[in-house]
Amino acid sequence: MVDALSWFALVVMLFVVLTLAYGFVAIHEIPHRIAKARNHPHQDAIEAGGWISLFTLHAIWPFLWIWAYAYDPKRGYAGRPSSEPANDVNSQELETLRNRIAELEAKLDSAPATNENDSQSE
């Protein structure tokens, strides 16, 4: 004979199983949500990786988390702006340095050539 406590236990067990199943899916969706919030260019690949990780015993899930955080919307990958060069030299400084190099090369070309062998023999 099935009593009320057996039915209650069955309902509690079903609730726990469904909650755990939802929890696993929700946890594996975290990297995709991070990528979506950061406007990551590989959002779809991260989402697919999350589903694959769900079926491969969570093997790649930590790497998906890192991949999602690796992209910054303002700076791109590796903390550098995606549209700017990696160094901090602006174009004006670069032009000044080029002019200085040209001046030094002109001085070097106009200087009289000295022979090292003549100076050693004296």
For the full predicted model, state whether its pTM sits above 0.85: no
Q: CA 36 to CA 96: how far, in whole Å?
A: 43
In-domain check, residue 110: no
Residues 6+ apart with CB under 8 A from 54: 24, 25, 28
Reduced to 3 states (helix: H, G, I; strand: E, B; else coil), residue 76 is strand
Residue with tokens 């609730």: 15
In eight-state DSSP terms, residue 72 is E
In-domain check, residue 21: yes
In-domain check, residue 116: no
Range in 19-28, 57-66, 110-119 the model is least confident about: 110-119
In-domain check, residue 120: no
In-domain check, residue 117: no
Reduced to 3 states (helix: H, G, I; strand: E, B; else coil), residue 44 is helix
Residues 6+ apart with CB under 8 A from 45: none
In-domain check, residue 103: no
Range in 13-27, 42-56, 102-116 the model is least confident about: 102-116
Percent of the chain with pLDDT over 70: 81
In-domain check, residue 30: yes
Range of the domain at 63: 1-83
**How many domains does the chain divide into?**
1
In-domain check, residue 49: yes
Share in percent of the chain as helix, strand, coil (round to 5): 65, 5, 30
